[in-house]
């Protein structure tokens, strides 16, 4: 009877077969899992929360007299953040209103002067007519005396007086014509300043009214308002500080509109498209809280391409490094409201490459389409000028005078006055 070799033991053979089969099955299962599931996903833990850092600054110079917001404080859009001393702006507004009243009164005198200058023109025309009559009479007298000079009926002295009278009449006529030309020039100049306008619509009055609006706008801007709602951060302004326009005072972070920038390797981006679904896990809450997002877009270049000092690879000891490209992912606002995040927090991101923009959007529309209009806007700086416009109209009306505003056309009333003056002469 021969002994069985341990290496040829049936038990050992079966164990080897079972082990080999288990490894083959595991490889097949892993391959199937990779082809059906894992190959359609790309993940990275190099991802961070980003948001808009809205910098708040003043639009006018001034001294800070009140600070109404502190760091970590939630503020709503349009809330007052900083108050500046309004003594200078109030004084400038009062001066602008006084300048407007003075301009209205000065402009009204231009319309009144049209009538006076038209009367001067009429008087000048009458003086010219009178001077022409005197000259004609003097010439007739001289002509008669010249006819009688041969008969001895007129002395030489009388003839000399007649010649002097003619010259005096000619000088008077020239003087009257010069006065008429000067009066007409003054009237034309004054009419050019008032033609096609009224007191309220005169360019000088409109310019003074704009100065009032500018002073009012400066007084309104003495209160620095929040352009967006969010949490206050990086407050640098201090009480009593003299600030200049554009100087940063504080930053507001809208925590309801955050997004994630995931830095994927360049060999992970081949099938990544805007609109695909993504799941995200924050280190703040752990794996128990899962966020759902949508790929908004892939950046135009890697992070090193936009660095302050871009990498220079034209060297002899160059080593290839796989670059990472930022991918922006929009978060679900409801999930973000339920589990708030902060700017700079770490995230783990997994993108479903098998999803399409239509599937990711959920309503059959392409996420790649861009809406018309501004991406971000604020109505905080749209000030209602109804009150100051009413104030300007009141100032103009109060300074026009009890006699009422002259006619719309600067030359209408002056022309009537000229005709009346002619009839009187």
pLDDT of 215-249, one tens digit each? 999 999 999 999 999 999 999 999 999 999 999 99
Task: State the pLDDT confidence band at 150, using cuts at 50, 70 and 90.
Answer: low
**Ramachandran category for residue 196: left, alpha or beta (phi over 0 → left; psi -120 to 50 → alpha):** left
Of residues 264, 271, 336, 255, the one with CA closest to residue 299: 264
Between 40-49, 74-83, 162-171, the lowest mean confidence (pLDDT) is in: 162-171
Phi, psi of 277 (to 5 degrees): -75, 155
Query: Residue 55 is inside which H or E element, if any?
Result: strand 54-57
Contact between 64 and 221 (Cβ < 8 Å) = no
**Per-residue confidence (pLDDT) for residue 166, from 0 to 100:** 77
Q: Give the best-scoring range by mean pLDDT among 2-6, 136-140, 231-235.
A: 231-235
Does the structure show a pLDDT above 50 at 402? no
Question: Domain 98-195+384-424 maps to which CATH number in 3.30.420, 3.40.50, 1.10.287, 1.10.3470?
Answer: 1.10.287
Does the structure show a pLDDT above 90 at 308? no
Query: Residue 262 is inside which H or E element, if any?
Result: strand 259-265
Q: How far apart are CA 385 and CA 395, in angstroms?
A: 15
Q: What is the mean pLDDT of residues 250-270?
A: 92
Q: What is the mean pLDDT of residues 45-70?
A: 94
Task: State the pLDDT confidence band at 412, using cuts at 50, 70 and 90.
Answer: very low
What is the DSSP code string of 286-330?
Answer: -TTSEEEEEEEEE-SS-GGGGSSS-----STT------EEEEEEE
What's the chain's average pLDDT?
80
Whether the full predicted model's pTM is greater than 0.85, yes or no, is no
**Per-residue confidence (pLDDT) for residue 155, from 0 to 100:** 67
Contact between 41 and 350 (Cβ < 8 Å) = yes
Sorted by where each begins, the domain ranges of the chain are 98-195+384-424
Q: Please state the separation of Cα 343 from the chain's center in Å.
A: 29
User: Could you report the per-residue pLDDT of 351-375, keeping only the tens digit for each?
Assistant: 988 877 654 444 434 444 455 567 7
């Amino acid at each position: 009877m021969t002994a069985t070799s341990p290496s040829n033991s049936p038990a050992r053979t079966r164990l080897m077969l079972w082990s080999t089969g288990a490894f083959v099955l595991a490889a097949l299962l892993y391959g199937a899992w990779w082809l059906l599931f894992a190959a359609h996903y790309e993940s990275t833990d190099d991802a961070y929360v980003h948001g808009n850092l809205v910098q708040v600054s003043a639009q006018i110079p001034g001294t800070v007299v009140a600070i109404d917001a502190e760091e970590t404080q939630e503020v709503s859009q349009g809330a007052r953040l900083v108050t500046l001393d309004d003594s200078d702006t109030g004084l400038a507004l009062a001066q602008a209103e006084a300048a407007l009243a003075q301009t209205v009164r000065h402009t009204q005198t231009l319309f009144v002067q049209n009538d006076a200058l038209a009367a001067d023109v009429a008087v000048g025309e009458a003086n010219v007519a009178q001077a022409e009559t005197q000259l004609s009479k003097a010439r007739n007298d001289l002509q008669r005396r010249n006819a009688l000079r041969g008969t001895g009926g007129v002395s030489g002295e009388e003839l000399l007086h007649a010649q002097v009278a003619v010259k005096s009449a000619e000088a008077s006529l020239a003087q009257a014509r010069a006065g008429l030309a000067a009066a007409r020039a003054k009237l034309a100049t004054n009419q050019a300043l008032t033609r096609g306008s009224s007191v309220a619509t005169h360019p000088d009055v409109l310019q003074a009214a704009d100065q009032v609006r500018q002073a009012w706008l400066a007084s309104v801007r003495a209160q620095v308002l929040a352009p967006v709602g969010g949490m206050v951060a990086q407050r640098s302004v201090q009480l009593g500080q003299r600030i200049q326009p554009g100087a940063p005072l504080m930053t507001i972070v809208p925590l309801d509109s955050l997004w994630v920038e995931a830095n994927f390797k360049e060999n992970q981006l081949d099938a990544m498209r805007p609109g695909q679904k993504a799941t995200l896990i924050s280190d703040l809450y752990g794996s128990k809280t899962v966020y759902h997002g949508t790929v908004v877009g892939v950046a135009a270049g890697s992070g090193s391409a936009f660095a302050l000092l871009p990498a220079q690879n034209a060297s002899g000891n160059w080593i290839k490094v796989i670059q990472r490209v930022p991918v922006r992912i929009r978060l679900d606002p409801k999930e973000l409201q339920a589990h708030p995040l902060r700017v700079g927090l770490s995230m783990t991101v997994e993108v479903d490459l098998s999803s399409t923009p239509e599937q990711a959007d959920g309503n059959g529309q392409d996420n790649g389409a861009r809406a018309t209009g501004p991406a971000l806007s604020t109505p905080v700086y749209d000030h209602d000028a109804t009150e100051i416009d009413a104030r300007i109209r009141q100032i103009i009306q109060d300074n026009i005078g009890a006699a009422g505003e002259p006619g719309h056309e600067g030359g209408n009333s002056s022309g009537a006055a000229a005709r009346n003056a002619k009839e009187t002469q």
